[in-house]
Chain A
Amino acid sequence: MAAARRLYVYGVSAVSLLVLAVGLTQLLTVALGQLADALGASILSGDVTASLDQLSLAVALVIVGLPIWVFHWWLAERSVAGAGVDVTAERRSTIRAVHFLDVELVALVAWLVASIWLVAWILRVIVGVEEELWGSRPTDWIAIIAVAFGVWIYHTGLRARDLRIEQLDGAGAWLPRLYRHAGAFIGLAVAGFGAADAISIMLGIIVGRPVFEGGTDWWQWPLADALARVLIGSTVVGLHWLDAERTIRDAARLGEDERATRVRRTYFGAVLVTAAAAVVAAVASSIDSLATWVLGVSTSDDLARLAEDVAGPPLAVLPWLVLAVWHVRTSVREGQAFGAATARSALRVAGHLLSLVGLAFGAAGLARMVGLLLEATIGRPSLAGELLWRLDLAQGFAFAVTGAVLWAWHWSGVLRDWTRGEEERATTASRSYLFLAVGGGLLAAVPSAALILYRVLNVVLATIPGARLGDEIATPLGVVLVAALVAAYHGRFLLRDLRTARVAAPAAATTGEGASITVVLRGPAGADVGAVLDGLRRRLPAGFSIESGAPTLTPPGGPP
């Protein structure tokens, strides 16, 4: 019953808020546009009728949306005011948490995008770039920012209040955390790729990159856009990071330390994987340029251009390198607060993620190379002389080498760590890495193998000439060979670990029934000890349990 009521209240609130926000945005769009025209433009043709029509629609949306939202949101807020079991359940409810997550994310993306457009436009106006409006006007972006930012700040403030009133758990706790870190990641991605683009453009200016169109001022438009992304992305990541820092400071009040949560660890991992992928792609692009030049198939003889192509991509991703190092160090430092083992775990996860990124890029590059070599061997030998084939080979080589170096660097560290003992091999990070490597290899090999069989059957059934078989199967054969190699290499470790675990399990079973510790849980007068205990039970790792008797009253003045 309560869930049905919540679905209704939050569902109607969300829809009416959307109607209200769209109406308000249109209202501000019309008013600001009209005001801007009144201040500095002359109308040649057309009258006010169109604006009044727009205004009527906007007012209609607001008049419909506002009372419905006010009433339903008042119902929602009334449910979390005061105290009691129902109020606690409401604040902890998954539906309320999902509502906040949705509203905050949609509003964030809206004001983020509109702010980038507006700031880029302002930067272009400052440097005097002449550009044509296409689709919307700057006043439209101001309207979107005003409404979306208002919605965002109101809901973010309310959720922060919820978190500090009640110790939330389950979805009520992790969905707001997910939003905080998703917001930080979105801002980081926008700022990181914006910074990379800005560096690349500035290098192009220094080198004097030739352009097809746009004259010597080609850089002004994209540089303004890149700088706007850096500025707005940094603001977004800063706001969300500060919010996360506040929750860490308030750990005692929130009942959970943000630093120990899976969502935060996943955030660190996502940043590291994104940064590693960006760096590998950039270094591979650099090696590709060098390889095509060495092979004599470069599309440009200009040495300055070659220098930009070789040095530019690695320089452009320097911000990502800095972000990766900073995030790894932060995760290790945060881990140290919980002991040396947690800090080591953070480093272990980073090492495995980097191995995985290197493996993915290296395997993809190697598969491409093998496929191309097979194509020129069992397909058409004349291919080896073709420019496109050589360019593809250089690209495959670049990705294979870059990925392999990253993988070998971190994988050798993992193997060194494994020599410390079986417990290091049995960690979640190691197991996950091995399963992902084997699973990824098989997932790549199976459809490619099916494709090879399909081509062979085509030849057998004479739907394609046999002479073309080499051409047709070369690429999937390359994928199958490399994927099988990856799966077999990692599968060997995985099988050994699983066998060791099977042998160890019965041995552990015979040594006793597991470890246990007696804990006494005390709370203030009137506290729901059972609810707190249920909360603790929900947070236990797999295989753990809490046994309890009936609650007892503690005499005033504390326990004896």
Chain B
Amino acid sequence: MAGRIAAGSVEATPGTAGSSRSILVIAAIVIGLVVLAVIVVLAASRPPATYPAGSPEATIQGYLAAGEQGDPETAYAFFSRSVRNAMTIDAYRRAWADHAWEREQERRVVLEETELHDDARATIHLRIDVFFGGDLFGSSRYTYERSIGLVRENGSWRIDEPLVGLEPIGYY
């Protein structure tokens, strides 16, 4: 039969060297990727950015820092007057206590965009990466996005929606 290769023809079969070489090439590529990835992660790692005091970004950063330090009073101070009027410090402390799980999460908050509507109103768009203890088959990072409205009061930006952590109060 035309084009037929006889069974057992040594000429037509790849040698061990060919197969071994391709496996070694794959191993080399994988090792190269590991080295490259480690370099990228270490080189591209940056500490949290610093923003001018009184900017919308600095307000959110200060609010998040208060959360990390377990200081509800300082966090409460970042809310606008209308939010504080609608929610007393006692109510906020209760929500804070109910929401301890969020402060225990290992997470990274990344600024995606700051939208200035006018001199008095702004929206901050955030991406939140929540990290879990990884295992072989489970995803070890969960990503979601949040937008937070801010209002300028007495020259300083304040959060204009009732939040505990990054979640709206009343959600839970």
| CB contact between B140 and one of A45, A54, A133 (< 8 Å): that residue | A54
Mark out the residues of chain A between 79 and 102 whose CB falls within 8 Å of any chain B CB in the assembled complex: 80-85, 87-88
**Chain B facing A: main interface SS:** mixed
- B142 interface residue, CB < 8 Å from A? yes
Q: Are B110 and A134 in contact (CB under 8 A)?
A: no
- A517 interface residue, CB < 8 Å from B? no
- A317 interface residue, CB < 8 Å from B? no
- A residues in contact with B44, CB < 8 Å: 34-35, 37-38
Distance A230 CA – B111 CA, assembled complex (angstroms): 34
- A residues in contact with B45, CB < 8 Å: 34, 48, 51-52
Of all chain A residues, which has the CB nearest B140?
A54
| CB contact between A133 and one of B6, B27, B131, B145 (< 8 Å): that residue | B145
Of all chain A residues, which has the CB nearest B60?
A44
Q: Are A22 and B61 in contact (CB under 8 A)?
A: no
- A560 interface residue, CB < 8 Å from B? no
Q: Are A53 and B131 in contact (CB under 8 A)?
A: yes
- B16 interface residue, CB < 8 Å from A? yes
| CB contact between A42 and one of B64, B111, B134 (< 8 Å): that residue | B111
- B residues in contact with A402, CB < 8 Å: none
Known pairs A51-B41, A66-B30, A77-B20; A19 contacts B2 (CB<8 A): no
- A residues in contact with B140, CB < 8 Å: 26, 54, 57
- A residues in contact with B37, CB < 8 Å: 27-28, 30-31, 55, 58
A60 to chain B, nearest CB (A): 10
Q: Are B7 and A41 in contact (CB under 8 A)?
A: no
- B126 interface residue, CB < 8 Å from A? yes
Q: Are B126 and A44 in contact (CB under 8 A)?
A: yes
| CB contact between B38 and one of A24, A57, A59, A74 (< 8 Å): that residue | A59
- A161 interface residue, CB < 8 Å from B? yes
Distance A363 CA – B29 CA, assembled complex (angstroms): 58
Distance A483 CA – B47 CA, assembled complex (angstroms): 71
Q: Are A255 and B4 in contact (CB under 8 A)?
A: yes
- A200 interface residue, CB < 8 Å from B? no
- A residues in contact with B8, CB < 8 Å: 83-85, 87-88, 526-528
Distance A133 CA – B109 CA, assembled complex (angstroms): 14
- A46 interface residue, CB < 8 Å from B? yes
Of all chain B residues, which has the CB nearest A71?
B23
Mark out the residues of chain A between 5 and 42 whose CB falls within 8 Å of any chain B CB in the assembled complex: 19-20, 22, 24, 26-31, 33-35, 37-38, 41-42
- A166 interface residue, CB < 8 Å from B? yes
B70 to chain A, nearest CB (A): 14
A530 to chain B, nearest CB (A): 12
Task: Please name the 7 residue pairs, one residue from A and one from B, whose CB atoms are nearest each other, closest first.
Answer: A46-B108, A38-B44, A48-B45, A77-B19, A31-B37, A42-B49, A45-B64
Known: A42-B49, A62-B34, A82-B10; 14 extra A-B contacts, CB below 8 A, are A41-B111, A42-B48, A50-B106, A50-B107, A51-B45, A52-B41, A55-B41, A70-B24, A70-B26, A77-B19, A133-B127, A161-B14, A524-B6, A528-B7
